[in-house]
Amino acid sequence: MIFKEINLDAKADLDPYFDLVDYEACEYCFATLYMWQHVYETGYYIGEDFAVLVGEYEGDSFSILPLARKEKMRKAIDFVLNCFKNKEKKILLRGITKEVVDSLKEEFGDKLEYIEERDLADYVYDGESLRTLAGRKNSKKRNHINYFLSEYEGRYEYRLLEQSDFKDCMRLLKKWEHEKEEHDDFDESMDDEYIGIKKIFDNYEILKDRTKVFGVFIDGKLEAFSIGEYLNHNMALIHVEKANPDVRGLYPFINKQFLVSEFPDVEFVNREEDMGVEGLRKAKLSYHPVRFVEKYTVKEK
Protein backbone atom coordinates (compact mmCIF):
# COMPACT_ATOMS: atom_id res chain seq x y z
CA MET A 1 0.00 0.00 0.00
CA ILE A 2 1.41 3.36 -1.07
CA PHE A 3 0.53 6.66 0.58
CA LYS A 4 0.96 9.60 -1.76
CA GLU A 5 2.42 12.91 -0.65
CA ILE A 6 -0.07 15.75 -0.24
CA ASN A 7 1.24 18.02 -2.96
CA LEU A 8 -0.59 20.14 -5.52
CA ASP A 9 -1.42 17.06 -7.60
CA ALA A 10 -3.32 15.67 -4.60
CA LYS A 11 -5.87 18.48 -4.69
CA ALA A 12 -7.92 16.94 -7.49
CA ASP A 13 -7.94 13.59 -5.66
CA LEU A 14 -8.88 14.94 -2.24
CA ASP A 15 -11.29 17.82 -2.88
CA PRO A 16 -14.21 15.47 -3.69
CA TYR A 17 -13.67 13.74 -0.33
CA PHE A 18 -13.52 17.02 1.58
CA ASP A 19 -16.84 17.86 -0.10
CA LEU A 20 -18.20 14.51 1.04
CA VAL A 21 -17.95 15.38 4.74
CA ASP A 22 -19.00 18.28 6.95
CA TYR A 23 -16.16 18.16 9.49
CA GLU A 24 -15.58 21.36 11.45
CA ALA A 25 -11.89 21.01 12.39
CA CYS A 26 -9.38 23.15 10.51
CA GLU A 27 -7.31 20.14 9.42
CA TYR A 28 -9.98 18.93 7.06
CA CYS A 29 -9.44 21.04 3.99
CA PHE A 30 -6.76 20.84 1.35
CA ALA A 31 -5.16 24.24 2.02
CA THR A 32 -4.45 23.40 5.67
CA LEU A 33 -2.83 20.07 4.87
CA TYR A 34 -0.84 21.55 2.01
CA MET A 35 0.36 24.54 4.06
CA TRP A 36 1.75 22.30 6.78
CA GLN A 37 2.88 19.32 4.68
CA HIS A 38 6.53 20.21 5.18
CA VAL A 39 6.08 19.92 8.96
CA TYR A 40 3.93 16.81 9.23
CA GLU A 41 4.92 14.99 6.03
CA THR A 42 1.25 14.44 5.31
CA GLY A 43 0.13 11.80 2.85
CA TYR A 44 -3.07 10.18 1.67
CA TYR A 45 -4.60 7.00 0.33
CA ILE A 46 -7.85 6.76 -1.62
CA GLY A 47 -9.87 3.71 -0.62
CA GLU A 48 -13.02 2.23 -2.08
CA ASP A 49 -15.31 4.91 -0.64
CA PHE A 50 -13.09 6.91 1.71
CA ALA A 51 -9.78 8.74 1.89
CA VAL A 52 -7.19 8.19 4.61
CA LEU A 53 -4.91 11.02 5.77
CA VAL A 54 -1.61 10.25 7.49
CA GLY A 55 1.45 12.08 8.71
CA GLU A 56 4.63 11.85 10.71
CA TYR A 57 5.87 14.09 13.48
CA GLU A 58 8.92 13.69 15.72
CA GLY A 59 9.34 10.10 14.54
CA ASP A 60 5.76 9.02 15.19
CA SER A 61 3.40 8.01 12.40
CA PHE A 62 -0.20 9.08 12.88
CA SER A 63 -3.52 9.26 11.10
CA ILE A 64 -6.22 11.89 11.38
CA LEU A 65 -9.91 11.28 10.83
CA PRO A 66 -10.59 9.57 7.48
CA LEU A 67 -12.73 11.40 4.96
CA ALA A 68 -15.84 9.25 4.85
CA ARG A 69 -19.59 9.41 5.20
CA LYS A 70 -20.88 8.46 8.64
CA GLU A 71 -22.10 5.05 7.47
CA LYS A 72 -18.62 4.31 6.09
CA MET A 73 -16.58 5.72 8.99
CA ARG A 74 -16.22 2.46 10.87
CA LYS A 75 -14.93 0.75 7.74
CA ALA A 76 -12.42 3.55 7.20
CA ILE A 77 -11.25 3.49 10.83
CA ASP A 78 -10.76 -0.28 10.65
CA PHE A 79 -8.65 0.24 7.54
CA VAL A 80 -6.47 2.75 9.43
CA LEU A 81 -6.06 0.45 12.43
CA ASN A 82 -5.03 -2.39 10.14
CA CYS A 83 -2.40 -0.12 8.57
CA PHE A 84 -0.78 0.36 11.97
CA LYS A 85 -0.96 -3.38 12.64
CA ASN A 86 0.54 -4.33 9.28
CA LYS A 87 3.42 -1.89 9.77
CA GLU A 88 3.91 -3.19 13.33
CA LYS A 89 3.45 0.31 14.72
CA LYS A 90 1.43 1.41 17.70
CA ILE A 91 -1.89 3.07 16.98
CA LEU A 92 -1.71 6.88 16.99
CA LEU A 93 -4.71 8.92 15.91
CA ARG A 94 -4.84 12.72 16.06
CA GLY A 95 -7.64 15.25 15.57
CA ILE A 96 -10.25 12.63 16.44
CA THR A 97 -13.84 13.55 17.33
CA LYS A 98 -15.62 12.62 20.55
CA GLU A 99 -18.00 10.43 18.57
CA VAL A 100 -15.17 8.31 17.19
CA VAL A 101 -13.48 8.22 20.62
CA ASP A 102 -16.66 6.81 22.17
CA SER A 103 -16.82 4.14 19.47
CA LEU A 104 -13.19 3.15 20.04
CA LYS A 105 -13.74 3.02 23.81
CA GLU A 106 -16.53 0.50 23.32
CA GLU A 107 -14.29 -1.77 21.27
CA PHE A 108 -10.85 -1.29 22.84
CA GLY A 109 -11.57 0.00 26.34
CA ASP A 110 -8.42 0.83 28.28
CA LYS A 111 -6.11 -0.73 25.69
CA LEU A 112 -6.00 2.73 24.19
CA GLU A 113 -5.36 6.10 25.81
CA TYR A 114 -7.76 8.94 24.98
CA ILE A 115 -6.41 12.49 25.44
CA GLU A 116 -8.45 15.64 24.95
CA GLU A 117 -6.13 18.26 23.39
CA ARG A 118 -7.32 21.66 24.64
CA ASP A 119 -4.41 23.46 22.96
CA LEU A 120 -5.52 22.09 19.60
CA ALA A 121 -9.26 22.77 19.95
CA ASP A 122 -10.56 25.11 17.24
CA TYR A 123 -12.42 28.27 18.24
CA VAL A 124 -15.87 28.54 16.66
CA TYR A 125 -17.72 31.86 16.60
CA ASP A 126 -21.18 33.01 15.63
CA GLY A 127 -20.79 34.45 12.14
CA GLU A 128 -23.31 37.26 12.57
CA SER A 129 -21.74 38.29 15.86
CA LEU A 130 -18.33 38.70 14.18
CA ARG A 131 -19.86 40.53 11.22
CA THR A 132 -21.76 43.04 13.37
CA LEU A 133 -19.88 43.04 16.69
CA ALA A 134 -23.21 43.93 18.25
CA GLY A 135 -23.87 43.90 21.98
CA ARG A 136 -22.14 45.06 25.10
CA LYS A 137 -19.57 42.27 25.09
CA ASN A 138 -18.13 43.56 21.80
CA SER A 139 -18.07 47.25 22.74
CA LYS A 140 -14.25 47.39 22.99
CA LYS A 141 -13.88 45.89 19.51
CA ARG A 142 -16.36 48.41 18.11
CA ASN A 143 -14.49 51.26 19.79
CA HIS A 144 -11.23 50.18 18.19
CA ILE A 145 -12.87 49.90 14.77
CA ASN A 146 -14.56 53.28 15.14
CA TYR A 147 -11.18 54.80 15.97
CA PHE A 148 -9.70 53.21 12.85
CA LEU A 149 -12.57 54.43 10.64
CA SER A 150 -12.27 57.96 12.02
CA GLU A 151 -8.47 58.19 12.03
CA TYR A 152 -8.07 56.81 8.51
CA GLU A 153 -11.24 58.12 6.87
CA GLY A 154 -10.73 58.43 3.14
CA ARG A 155 -7.31 56.81 3.38
CA TYR A 156 -8.12 53.10 3.53
CA GLU A 157 -9.49 50.53 1.11
CA TYR A 158 -10.08 46.78 1.23
CA ARG A 159 -10.41 44.12 -1.43
CA LEU A 160 -9.58 40.59 -2.45
CA LEU A 161 -5.89 40.32 -3.28
CA GLU A 162 -4.26 38.96 -6.41
CA GLN A 163 -0.86 37.45 -7.05
CA SER A 164 0.59 40.88 -7.78
CA ASP A 165 -0.17 41.82 -4.16
CA PHE A 166 1.55 38.88 -2.52
CA LYS A 167 5.00 40.45 -2.51
CA ASP A 168 3.55 43.14 -0.24
CA CYS A 169 1.98 40.44 1.94
CA MET A 170 5.36 38.82 2.46
CA ARG A 171 6.89 42.20 3.28
CA LEU A 172 4.22 42.74 5.92
CA LEU A 173 4.72 39.21 7.27
CA LYS A 174 8.47 39.77 7.66
CA LYS A 175 7.80 43.02 9.52
CA TRP A 176 5.31 41.25 11.77
CA GLU A 177 7.80 38.45 12.54
CA HIS A 178 10.58 40.97 13.24
CA GLU A 179 8.44 42.77 15.80
CA LYS A 180 7.60 39.43 17.45
CA GLU A 181 11.31 38.69 17.73
CA GLU A 182 11.98 42.07 19.31
CA HIS A 183 9.34 41.41 21.96
CA ASP A 184 10.59 37.84 22.64
CA ASP A 185 7.24 36.57 21.39
CA PHE A 186 8.62 34.45 18.55
CA ASP A 187 8.53 30.68 18.34
CA GLU A 188 9.71 28.19 15.73
CA SER A 189 6.19 27.52 14.43
CA MET A 190 6.24 31.03 12.95
CA ASP A 191 9.00 29.96 10.55
CA ASP A 192 6.84 27.03 9.48
CA GLU A 193 3.84 29.33 9.09
CA TYR A 194 5.92 31.64 6.90
CA ILE A 195 6.77 28.72 4.62
CA GLY A 196 3.13 27.63 4.54
CA ILE A 197 1.86 31.10 3.63
CA LYS A 198 4.46 31.39 0.87
CA LYS A 199 3.31 28.02 -0.53
CA ILE A 200 -0.24 29.37 -0.75
CA PHE A 201 0.93 32.51 -2.54
CA ASP A 202 3.32 30.71 -4.89
CA ASN A 203 0.58 28.34 -6.04
CA TYR A 204 -2.44 30.59 -5.83
CA GLU A 205 -3.50 29.98 -9.43
CA ILE A 206 -4.31 26.39 -8.42
CA LEU A 207 -5.67 27.15 -4.95
CA LYS A 208 -7.82 30.20 -5.67
CA ASP A 209 -10.87 28.14 -6.61
CA ARG A 210 -11.46 27.81 -2.86
CA THR A 211 -8.94 29.96 -1.02
CA LYS A 212 -9.46 33.73 -0.65
CA VAL A 213 -6.84 36.32 0.27
CA PHE A 214 -8.19 39.65 1.53
CA GLY A 215 -6.27 42.83 2.27
CA VAL A 216 -6.57 46.29 3.79
CA PHE A 217 -4.58 49.22 2.40
CA ILE A 218 -3.85 52.57 4.06
CA ASP A 219 -2.59 55.37 1.82
CA GLY A 220 -2.14 52.75 -0.90
CA LYS A 221 0.11 50.53 1.24
CA LEU A 222 -0.93 47.03 2.29
CA GLU A 223 -1.18 46.96 6.09
CA ALA A 224 -3.20 43.77 6.74
CA PHE A 225 -4.11 40.52 5.00
CA SER A 226 -6.12 37.44 5.82
CA ILE A 227 -6.48 34.00 4.19
CA GLY A 228 -9.70 32.02 4.45
CA GLU A 229 -12.20 29.74 2.73
CA TYR A 230 -15.44 27.86 3.20
CA LEU A 231 -14.79 24.81 5.38
CA ASN A 232 -18.31 23.61 4.67
CA HIS A 233 -21.46 25.30 3.37
CA ASN A 234 -22.21 26.85 6.76
CA MET A 235 -18.75 27.62 8.15
CA ALA A 236 -15.88 29.88 7.13
CA LEU A 237 -12.32 28.95 8.09
CA ILE A 238 -9.75 31.68 8.69
CA HIS A 239 -6.25 30.27 8.18
CA VAL A 240 -4.17 33.39 8.62
CA GLU A 241 -4.65 36.97 9.79
CA LYS A 242 -1.75 39.43 9.91
CA ALA A 243 -1.80 43.18 10.40
CA ASN A 244 0.44 46.08 11.31
CA PRO A 245 0.06 46.15 15.11
CA ASP A 246 0.91 49.85 15.20
CA VAL A 247 -2.40 50.69 13.50
CA ARG A 248 -5.06 50.76 16.19
CA GLY A 249 -8.24 48.96 15.21
CA LEU A 250 -6.77 47.28 12.13
CA TYR A 251 -6.99 43.73 13.47
CA PRO A 252 -10.66 43.90 14.46
CA PHE A 253 -11.41 45.78 11.23
CA ILE A 254 -10.01 43.12 8.89
CA ASN A 255 -11.48 40.38 11.07
CA LYS A 256 -14.94 41.88 10.57
CA GLN A 257 -14.64 43.16 7.02
CA PHE A 258 -13.30 39.92 5.50
CA LEU A 259 -16.41 38.14 6.77
CA VAL A 260 -18.80 40.92 5.72
CA SER A 261 -17.32 41.06 2.21
CA GLU A 262 -16.63 37.40 1.46
CA PHE A 263 -18.59 35.23 3.92
CA PRO A 264 -21.82 37.22 4.43
CA ASP A 265 -24.09 34.25 5.10
CA VAL A 266 -22.12 31.66 7.07
CA GLU A 267 -23.57 30.81 10.46
CA PHE A 268 -20.22 29.91 12.00
CA VAL A 269 -16.57 30.92 11.72
CA ASN A 270 -13.64 28.67 12.67
CA ARG A 271 -10.54 30.67 13.62
CA GLU A 272 -8.38 27.61 14.36
CA GLU A 273 -6.56 26.71 17.57
CA ASP A 274 -4.35 28.68 19.96
CA MET A 275 -1.62 25.98 20.27
CA GLY A 276 -1.37 26.79 23.97
CA VAL A 277 0.14 30.24 23.28
CA GLU A 278 -1.08 32.49 26.09
CA GLY A 279 -1.35 35.70 24.04
CA LEU A 280 -3.12 33.93 21.20
CA ARG A 281 -5.55 32.29 23.60
CA LYS A 282 -6.39 35.63 25.16
CA ALA A 283 -6.97 37.20 21.74
CA LYS A 284 -9.21 34.37 20.54
CA LEU A 285 -11.25 34.34 23.73
CA SER A 286 -11.79 38.10 23.44
CA TYR A 287 -14.07 37.46 20.45
CA HIS A 288 -16.32 35.21 22.57
CA PRO A 289 -16.41 31.79 20.89
CA VAL A 290 -19.74 29.98 21.03
CA ARG A 291 -18.03 26.58 21.23
CA PHE A 292 -14.88 24.63 20.48
CA VAL A 293 -14.16 21.87 17.99
CA GLU A 294 -12.83 19.29 20.41
CA LYS A 295 -9.93 17.14 19.22
CA TYR A 296 -8.61 13.98 20.80
CA THR A 297 -5.40 12.06 20.47
CA VAL A 298 -5.86 8.30 20.70
CA LYS A 299 -2.81 6.14 21.21
CA GLU A 300 -2.00 2.57 22.00
CA LYS A 301 -0.54 2.01 25.45
pLDDT category, 179, cuts 50, 70, 90? Answer: confident
pLDDT category, 261, cuts 50, 70, 90? Answer: very high
DSSP string covering the chain, please?
Answer: --PEE-STTHHHHHHHHHHH----STTSSHHHHHHTHHHH--EEEE-SS-EEEEEEETTEEEE---B--HHHHHHHHHHHHHHHHHTT---EEEEE-HHHHHHHHHHHGGGEEEEE-GGGPEEEEEHHHHHH--SGGGHHHHHHHHHHHHHTTTTEEEEE--GGGHHHHHHHHHHHHHHHHHTT---THHHHHHHHHHHHHHTHHHHTTT-EEEEEEETTEEEEEEEEEEEETTEEEEEEEEE-TTSTTHHHHHHHHHHHHH-SS-SEEE----TT-HHHHHHHHTT--SEEE--EEEEE-
- Render pLDDT for 44-91 as a digit per residue (tens, 0 to 9): 999 989 999 999 988 899 999 999 999 999 999 999 999 999 999 999
Is the entire prediction scored with pTM above 0.75? yes
| Per-residue model confidence (pLDDT) at position 143 | 98
| Per-residue model confidence (pLDDT) at position 186 | 56
What residue ranges define each of the domains in the chain, with the CATH number in brackets? Answer: 4-120 (3.40.630.30), 122-272 (3.40.630.30)
Over 90: is that where the pLDDT of 148 sits? Answer: yes
Average per-residue pLDDT for the chain = 95
